[in-house]
Structures are given as structure tokens and as C-alpha cells.
Amino acid sequence: MNPFPVEQRSVQVLLISPHEEDHHHLRQILRRSQWQQHDAHTIAEAVAFLERHPTPVAICESELPDGTWRELLSQIEGIEYPPMVVVTARLADEALWSHVLNLGGYNVLAKPLAAAEVFHVVSFAWLCWKSQWHLPGEAAPPQSVAV
């Protein structure tokens, strides 16, 4: 039996950033897609949301008011269906990418976010999450926008 309602099987992204402009920017990128964006501004807010709503992908600012992406990874370990975590940073270099992967994150996106990169990284994170929980359905994430 599938534990997710139909609406939870679509591409959903939780953006965790203290910066309102980041939330607005991602919303602009996703506006022509069928993807759904949820917002959190702190780790505590994100964890509370994720405990109630299984969400495939979390895009997390590297530094947050109540910790870093490392604390987020630590705090979501106990969640039944944790998201694939993508870290964002202005300096998204190889060292950060390696550190994120070694600690259990999924990938890194450079800021400012580029639409093509967002769609690419989130698409593959969604597929990985879906495969991890053996969810049936489409082979590729629904996307109504050409990138």
C-alpha cells in the first residue's frame, strides 16, 4: 500500500532560506511548471513541516538563523520519509559539494539559482526519492516548462 496521497507523488520542493528574495526567486523559476513550492525560514520550521508532509526535495541555504545544512541533515534523520537535501550557496565549489555528498546530502546549487540547474537537480533528486520509497507512477517528473 502506498503511504502517500496522490498530491504527494508530484514534484514538491521545500525551500529553506531566511531570505524572502530566495523564496520569490524560486517561485518565479517554478511558476510555469506544475511543481509545488513550500517555504520555511529556519531549520525548526522545516523539520516541523517535513514531519507532517513527506516532501521529496528540500533546497536548503547553507547558513540559516538556527544552524546550517549539516544540522538539518542531522535533525531529519528520524523523519519517516526524509527529503533529498540540496544545499545552496554563493560559493558552491567542489569542496562544499564533496562535503554535502559525504554527509548524506543530495547535491549543491550555486546562488543565484539558474532555472536550468534547478530543474535538472530537482528532477533527479525527485526521481531518486521516489525510487527510494518504491513509488509507482511516471518515469520522469511532471514538468510543463521547457528549459
The winner for highest mean pLDDT among 54-68, 90-104, 128-142 is 54-68
| Grid cell digits, residue 101 | 555528498
pLDDT over 50 at 61, yes or no: yes
Total-model pTM = 0.87
Based on its alpha-carbon atoms, the radius of gyration of the chain, rounded to whole angstroms, reads 14
How do residues 62-75 score in pLDDT, each as one tens digit? 999 999 999 999 99
How do residues 25-36 score in pLDDT, each as one tens digit? 999 999 989 999
pLDDT at 134: 75
Query: Domain locations in the chain?
Result: 10-132
Residue 74 and residue 104: Cα distance in Å, rounded? 9
Residue 138 and residue 120: Cα distance in Å, rounded? 17
pLDDT over 60 at 1, yes or no: no
CATH of 10-132, one of 3.20.20.70, 3.40.630.30, 3.40.50.2300, 3.20.20.80: 3.40.50.2300
